[in-house]
Amino acid sequence: MNGKLLVMIATAALLVAGCQHIAEHLGTNTANNNSTARSTPDEFAAARAMYEKNCKGCHGETGNGGPVKLPDGTKLKVPSLREGHALRHPDSDFVKQITKGGDGMPAFGEKLRTDDINGLIRFIRHEFQGGITPPPEAAKSPMKDMKMKP
């Protein structure tokens, strides 16, 4: 009887050891599979943070714009970044508006670098405008830059 008991204990010990080995092996493979399936980094992370900090207060979380009351009591109708004029302006118009401000929008030219502004524009085009191709830049007329004699 002692022999049978000893064989059963030895068999049980081998089964437990074998199961642990298999579990460790499967766990390692699962970990390796997870590490190879890495997520794609957010190329707009920096611009998203800048929008959150500088733009969201007026243009809103989804870029819809709308009526905004400024701290000084002034009321503005902030344009949507999703429709209307925002879709019809080339990137250079966005750069100018963000840099110099105007029509109630503060200027960010002293606060943001050129790369930051360009990143914000790419973010806006992607996030709020469905990745549209911006309208072409307006061609400068040679006559426009020439000074005419009276």
pLDDT at residue 125, rounded to an integer = 96
How many domains, in total, are found in the chain?
2
pTM of the model: 0.65
Phi-psi region of 77 (alpha: psi -120 to 50; beta: other; left: phi over 0): beta
**CA pair distance 15, 107, nearest whole angstrom:** 72
Is the model's pLDDT at 146 over the cut of 80?
Answer: no
Residues 123 and 49 in one domain: yes
Is 6 in the same domain as 50?
no
Q: Domain span at residue 1?
A: 1-38
Assess whether 16 and 80 both reside in one domain. Answer: no
Same domain, 32 and 55: no
Q: What is the pLDDT of residue 20?
A: 52
The full length of the chain comes to 150
Any idea which residue has 């040679």 for tokens? 142
Q: How far is CA 143 from the centre of its chain?
A: 41
The pLDDT value given to residue 70: 84
Torsion of CA 118, 124, 127, 133, to 10 degrees: -80
A 10 A CB-CB count for 64 gives 14
Higher pLDDT, 62 or 1: 62
Instruction: Check whether residue 70 and residue 33 sit in a common domain.
Output: no
Domain co-membership, 53 together with 96: yes
Residues 113 and 73 in one domain: yes
CB 87 within 8 A of CB 129: yes
51 located within any domain? yes
For residue 133, being part of any structural domain is answered with no
- SS3 call for 50: helix
Phi, psi (deg, nearest 5) at residue 111: -100, -35
> Residue 36 above 70 pLDDT?
no
